[in-house]
Chains A and B, each alone.
Chain A
Amino acid sequence: MTEIIFFINQVVISGLVLGCIYALGAIGITLIFGILRFAHFAHSELMTGGAFIAFLLASAFAAWGIATPIPTGFVVLPLAMVLAAILALGIDKGFYAPLRKRGAKPVTLLIASIGVTLMIQGLIRLFFGAGSYSFFENEPKEIFRIDTSAIGSTRPLVITEPQVLMIVVTLVSVIALHFFLTRSRLGKAMRAMADNADLAQVSGINTALVVRVTWVIAGALACMAGTMLALDVTLKPDLAFNIILPIFAAAIVGGLGQAYGAIAGGLLIGFAETLAVFNWTMLFRPLNAILPDWLQLPAQLALVPTEYKLTVAFVILVVTLLVRPTGIFKGASS
């Protein structure tokens, strides 16, 4: 049983955590693509920026002496999400709206989003330097070790508090988003505009409002993803810049413009990455006792070496683009 618990710790939990992060980021990218028709590269900086907003708020809370049983970074998350949504609206107003008004092509908006990425990244590095920060300097990071000796395992099941919170908030926000998109008037307007912007406009949908709501949702979710990631690992200026491509891969694999596809794609990429670098010998080691001598399992039996973990996402991305460019859930075609 030890092997199975090890498998759960190494693959199920870490794949789920990674998948949740990718999914939260990919939802924002896919919504923006659906409504505004461009690949928003600066999403990574919305995530990092949101995490830094949450970090500043958490430090302020700690300075005022407010102590909570759950991590402070999580307590301040709603406030940080509001601020990040305002930031996202401001970025749209300042950088993308003038270009849209001029009738610029989506490609120009993509290049503009790279400019925004560089500027925000430069500002974050200017104010916070290149070092890394932790949300858990003043409080302990709780680690749950569930004793599994009852089912014959020598190892405990390990999961940290931020990881539990992350899985829970991802579930909650995904369900909330589902009800928003299918039940509310605004959500339906959003889906209509994603389907056909011109038709939505002539049928009386306030497209400017839909665009603003899209930025609010994308900014808030990006802040949530960034903060949750920073709670799980550490906060640094290139926190999300390094994972923006797997997030794009998740959005494309799921089908650009499809909110549910983004969730499926995120989990798929997350699990694929962890499964690809998992050392299968650790799971099948008991088989060595029954296997003949010439068929003993080697010490290392991973599909790809650990240093190529991130490339797994790109390979999946390229294969998806070749075999089924619309993604799993038929998204915008190439």
Chain B
Amino acid sequence: MIQRSLALFGGLFVLILVIGWVMGLPFTSSRLVEAAAYALIALGLNIQWGYGGLFNFGIMGFLMLGGAAVTFISFPVNPEFWGSDGPMMLGRALFAFAVGALIVLAARQAHRIGITGKWKGALTVLAWFCAYVLYRSQLDPAAAYIESAGGGWVGGLGAHPVLGWLFGGVLAAGIAYIVGKICLGLRTDYLAIATIGISEIIRALIKNMDWLTRGTLTVSPIPWPTPLPQDYQAGGMDIAASLIAARAGYLVLALVVLAIVMWLISRAYSGPWGRMMRAIRDNHVAASSMGKNVTSRQLEIFVFGSVLMGIGGAMLVSFVQIFDPSSYQPINHTFLIWVMVIVGGAGNNWGALFGAVLLWLVWVVSEPLSKAVFDFVSYWSTNAGWGAIPEIEARSAQMRVFVLGMAITIALRFAPKGLIPEVVKREDARS
């Protein structure tokens, strides 16, 4: 088992070297930083699916939350907004939100004054409606005012990006807690569909709340936690060297975060907590009869996994320096992560890490590779008199999706437990 893992990681290292040699160091260094962030996200999914057996298909929503969080924390302050009436109006909207929440909570307690059954249901619906109308009546003018006269949008807080990453984790945790409270009672495929639905709702909100996130207008440039290439260039370094130096700095920071997370979750996995989680995953009825609180343990694991997704999403956004809500797609940000974990090996942290780096490299390399293949076929078919392949550029960009689908299909068929499968330790094992 160890030998196989070492061989696979060795192969991955060779692959990185080959890509570095063919595509150049600046390209490879960026991809490696992204791979580190994706590894963090894949570890988050591995906690949820590999340890806990929870079917989270809303990864995209948590990545967006992380991105929005780091934008909010680390982008420079927008003085125009803070000098206008905007904060006051937003405060009123927040107050309306609180009052609405109180109305709903009060309606839920209606049985105490003798309103039960259908009447209570009707009252709850009415309370939700009133709260919604109240909130919209305060928020809509505030949003319209900020977008037209109050500086365009809220702006950031101008804090250090690493604080933004942490806030990404906190925000994702908060939303995951609410989502988990709502959805975790559901059976697996219902949970998958519900989480997809929630991630689409999050996407619609972030995309359209222009006053908070600037929506499709996008926010850039988001500052880096480490020195930018421009800083190195100001010190007299040439462009290529500065790119590599800056990205290497970012990569080191990302790897430090990854190493800390890996150490923590490996310890948790091999401890009593990890054993309990696997027991719940494999047979939650038996686990609950042993006195484990299945619902709250699952909620716990859902929140922990989402924290890593939020941090990873924040790292990705601050690396590319632009937060563009319309660039988030379920294929690129949810299904890709799933393929990483399934191919790598669900339930094994090294497997998830391996799958994340491998699949990210395959994902980015499959476009230039298929372009090369198409160019070759096109050259051959032109010589044979059949004419060239039209629109090679656009077509090879679409091959990534096909390659991703093929990777997961092959993995499910021939290595259903992943390339580095979960190791089940037994006390009485004789092997």
Contact = CB atoms under 8 A, between A and B. Distances in A.
Interface of A: 38-39, 95, 98-99, 102, 104, 106-108, 110-112, 114-123, 125-126, 129-130, 245, 248-249, 252, 305, 307-308, 310-311, 313-315, 317-318, 321-322, 325, 334
B379 interface: no
Contacts of B208: 305, 307-308
B182 A311 contact: no
A327 B404 CA distance: 34
Contacts of B183: 318, 321
Most A C-beta atoms less than 10 A away, residue of B189, B192, B405: B189
B412 A245 contact: no
A99 B194 CA distance: 25
Given A126-B402, A315-B201, 18 more contacts: A39-B192, A39-B193, A104-B412, A114-B408, A115-B405, A115-B412, A119-B405, A121-B331, A122-B400, A125-B401, A126-B399, A129-B395, A130-B394, A130-B398, A310-B204, A311-B204, A314-B200, A318-B198
A311 B200 contact: yes
By size class, the interface of chain B is: 35 or more
A99 B412 contact: yes
Contacts of B23: none
Contact of A118 (B187, B190, B391, B402): B402
Given A122-B405, A126-B398, A245 B413 contact: no
B193 A317 contact: yes
B200 A129 contact: no
Nearest to B53: A107
Contacts of A110: 188-189, 192
Interface in B333-362: 335, 338-339, 342
Contacts of A252: 190, 193
B409 interface: yes
A314 B412 contact: no
Most B C-beta atoms less than 10 A away, residue of A114, A245, A315, A322: A114
A125 B396 CA distance: 10
Contact of B409 (A104, A112, A315): A112
The 7 closest A-B pairs by CB, nearest first: A122-B402, A118-B405, A119-B405, A314-B197, A125-B398, A115-B408, A122-B401
Contacts of A123: 402
A249 B401 CA distance: 25
A334 B186 contact: yes
Nearest to A306: B208
B55 interface: yes
B107 to A, nearest CB: 15
A170 B198 CA distance: 30
B163 interface: no
Contacts, number: 124
Nearest to A45: B405
A119 B402 CA distance: 4
B182 A318 contact: yes
22 contacts: A38-B189, A39-B192, A99-B412, A110-B189, A111-B338, A112-B408, A115-B405, A115-B406, A115-B408, A118-B335, A118-B402, A122-B401, A122-B403, A125-B398, A130-B394, A249-B193, A305-B208, A307-B207, A308-B204, A308-B208, A311-B204, A334-B186
Interface string B154-186: 000000000000000000000000000011011
Given A106-B189, A318-B182, A112 B412 contact: yes
A307 B398 contact: no
Contacts of A129: 391, 394-395, 398
Contacts of A112: 408-409, 412
B416 interface: yes
B209 to A, nearest CB: 10
A248 B400 CA distance: 26
Nearest to B409: A115
A107 B55 contact: yes
A320 B126 CA distance: 17
Most B C-beta atoms less than 10 A away, residue of A38, A115, A249: A115
A122 B399 contact: yes
A148 B408 CA distance: 56
B311 interface: no
B399 A334 contact: no
A124 B196 CA distance: 23
A122 B408 CA distance: 14
B204 A118 contact: no
B409 A317 contact: no
B8 to A, nearest CB: 21
Nearest to B413: A98
A104 B405 contact: no
Contacts of A99: 412-413
A322 B182 contact: yes
Contacts of B193: 39, 245, 248-249, 252, 317
Contact of B189 (A39, A249, A313, A315): A39
